[in-house]
Amino acid sequence: MASDLKPIICAESKPTVIHKGFLEKRGRFFKIYHLRYFILYSNGVLLRFMGRPDSEGYCKQLKNCKVLQVMKPNRPPPTKFIIEGFQDSVTIERKFRALSEEDRDAWYAALGKVLAPAEVPIPKKVTFVNPRPTKINGYYGVNYKTRLDRFAFVTVLGYGSSAKVILVKDCVNPKYYAMKMLKWSRVINEKQINNTQTESYILFVGRHPFLTRMALSFKSNGYLCFLTDYCIGGDLHYHLYKLREPGSVGFGLERTRFYAAEIACGLGYLHANNIIYRDLKLENVLLDKEGHIKIADFGLCKQTSDKDGRTSTICGTIECLAPETLNRFPSSGRAVDWWALGIIVYEMMCGVVPFILKNAENIPSLIHFKKPRYPPGMDSEARNFIQCLLQKNPDDRLGSGPTDIEELKAHPFFETINWVDLYNRNMPVPFTPDLTADNDSKYFNKKFTDLPSILAGLRDAPNDIYSTKADQDAIRELKSIYSQFSFYEERKENVIPDNYVEADEPMES
């Protein structure tokens, strides 16, 4: 797909012209329509010119994009239409206005010729439900009629640096959901629009048994809200550090193998759809009521133009970052997710992440130069699996090849996994949550669930859901546990013994 967006195309491979002519295009920022000349080619590339070009050269156009979808608005005038496409590896939407209804019909017919299913950048072996659903202002699943007063607020499930997650009950269709609430002003100020749009796309469009799903999204009372599955079993971090048996270290081999297989299956689905997850950690792996995992929180995902897409952004949780992410250059690809899988498999087996110190600033040096220490008696196949995932060079890492997850499936660590049964959720789960009601929150941290859940103040004080001084004091105290990287302080408090690895202590291979 990225190659289709190159501004210069060799004459011998030049596609044929499907349609050309003038259209009025609305500006991205000032919302004013400007008359521009467009040429549509058989490969779906749409070129834009200031005026009619003297020749069909490829070097003087203003912009180009690869057409993915054409949408017809319900409101007049009837000459308006919207084109969704790829431009510079980013999905965009632009509004157009034809000069007449006849001209509009001609463009509709021409655009229809380049919208063959093969042009949609979704691999055939992976099925997204409704691959190109309608979106509004870049967000999927938008329902403008939904307001916060439609929901009864039950308890706080989580509170991070950029969002809060609330357990809510839908008063229209009695069902419990996890509502992720992001303050809209903060989304704007911190330039998180692209991230939240990508998150809404994955939540609403993706369909996989091990990914969380979104029922709808809406804006109300100054918040952008995503109504998602309520994974009642809590996250694996809470299970590993708060609920494990006394004297035990980790989950044990079979439970770790089961969770690792389901996580890998979900990551493989994202990779097949050109999405790098970039934030894999136990806190983002939840359990549903049956004990199967659900990967959550897609706010840091990177949607690339092809399977080999790269990114140079440093993001994620410090102790789970791959060496190439910390380097920033050369850019990193989907192999960063397999590194993170190696980190959490080690963590589930050993009860601690392999690279952690009391001083977070020294963790990158451990990641770059040290090898993990493995406890005596650790299963040899599990150890080799982790070692293959924690290769410093991403090109040597298990899963970095063109077959991606298939490399992991072939490893002896997963020899006992029936992947068809796993995908169909037919394999027996190692742990089933013990639940008393559909709104049970026993598997969530009491640090959050004990927070005041009197959220009627939403209607009275739309700027924040916590309006009393006691609530604000509780939130300030809660925020103090966060450092630059999410959950680092909590991890340090829970899992680092006083005599654990110091910066100058050599790591054993």
Show the CA angle centred on residue 39, arms to residues 34 and 40, nearest 5°. Answer: 120
Let me know whether 50 and 177 are in one domain. no
What the block records as the tokens of 63 is: 């912009």
Name the domain count of the chain: 3
Is residue 240 included in any domain, yes or no?
Answer: yes
Q: Where are the alpha helices (DSSP H) in 70-216?
A: 101-113, 184-189, 193-205
Q: Distances from the Cα of 52 to the Cαs of 14, 20, 46, in angstroms?
A: 19, 9, 14
Is residue 429 included in any domain, yes or no?
Answer: no
Residue 269: CB atoms within 10 A of its CB come to: 22
> DSSP labels for 83-109?
EEEEETTEEEEEEEE-SSHHHHHHHHH
Residue 469, marked binder: no
Element (H, E) at 237: helix 236-242
For the chain, helix (H) and strand (E) counts, in that order, are 15, 17
Last residue of a domain, which of 98, 121, 144?
A: 121
Alpha-carbon Rg of the chain, whole angstroms? 25
Let me know whether 218 and 270 are in one domain. no
Give the pLDDT of residue 112: 83
Let me know whether 288 and 361 are in one domain. yes
Let me know whether 395 and 276 are in one domain. yes
Contact 28, 98 (CB under 8 A): no
Q: Which residue has the tokens 């195309």?
A: 9
Let me know whether 199 and 288 are in one domain. no
- Of 131, 119, 262, 148, residue with least CA distance to 202: 131
Contact 431, 291 (CB under 8 A): yes
CA–CA separation, 184 vs 194, rounded Å? Answer: 13
Q: Which residue has the tokens 């796993």?
A: 422
Q: Distances from the Cα of 324 to the Cαs of 129, 156, 210, 339, 502, in angstroms?
A: 33, 36, 27, 10, 23
What the block records as the tokens of 381 is: 């196949």
CA–CA separation, 375 vs 283, rounded Å? Answer: 24
Is residue 494 included in any domain, yes or no?
Answer: no
Give the pLDDT of residue 453: 55
Q: Which CATH number covers residue 187?
A: 3.30.200.20
Give the pLDDT of residue 448: 86
- The residue range of the domain holding 462 is 136-231+449-473
Let me know whether 50 and 77 are in one domain. yes
Contact 340, 325 (CB under 8 A): no
Q: Which CATH number covers residue 255?
A: 1.10.510.10
What the block records as the tokens of 199 is: 């998150």
Contact 7, 60 (CB under 8 A): no
**Tens digits of residue pLDDT in 49-95:** 888 877 654 444 556 676 766 766 655 677 888 887 766 555 677 88
Show the CA angle centred on residue 91, arms to residues 86 and 94, nearest 5°. Answer: 85
**Percent of the chain as helix, strand, coil, to the nearest 5:** 30, 20, 50
Let me know whether 183 and 219 are in one domain. yes
Give the pLDDT of residue 288: 95
Is residue 66 included in any domain, yes or no?
Answer: yes
Give the pLDDT of residue 246: 74
Is residue 406 included in any domain, yes or no?
Answer: yes
Is residue 497 included in any domain, yes or no?
Answer: no
By the 10 Å C-beta count (0-12 exposed, 13-18 middle, 19+ buried), 117 is classed as exposed
Residues belonging to the chain = 509
By the 10 Å C-beta count (0-12 exposed, 13-18 middle, 19+ buried), 198 is classed as buried
Which ranges of the chain have pLDDT less than 70? 1-14, 28-31, 55-64, 66, 68-69, 71-76, 86-91, 116-138, 144, 161, 305-316, 328-331, 453-509
Let me know whether 303 and 351 are in one domain. yes
Beta strands 63-71 and 151-159 are: unpaired
CA–CA separation, 298 vs 320, rounded Å? Answer: 16
Angle of helix 253-272 relative to helix 335-350, nearest 10 degrees, comes to 170
Contact 261, 417 (CB under 8 A): yes
Give the pLDDT of residue 136: 61
Let me know whether 103 and 213 are in one domain. no
- Local structure of 91: helix, strand or coil: strand
Contact 154, 167 (CB under 8 A): yes
CA–CA separation, 425 vs 405, rounded Å? Answer: 18
Contact 224, 182 (CB under 8 A): yes
Let me know whether 302 and 383 are in one domain. yes
CA–CA separation, 9 vs 396, rounded Å? Answer: 35
Is residue 131 included in any domain, yes or no?
Answer: no
Let me know whether 269 and 368 are in one domain. yes
Catalytic residue set: 279
Which amino acid is it at 410?
A: A
Question: Which residues neighbour 459 within 8 Å (Cβ) at sequence distance 6 or greater?
Answer: 148, 149, 221
Q: Which CATH number covers residue 41?
A: 2.30.29.30
- DSSP conformation class of 128: -
Let me know whether 42 and 66 are in one domain. yes
> How would you list the strands of the sheet with 223-228, edge to edge?
151-159, 164-170, 176-183, 223-228, 214-220
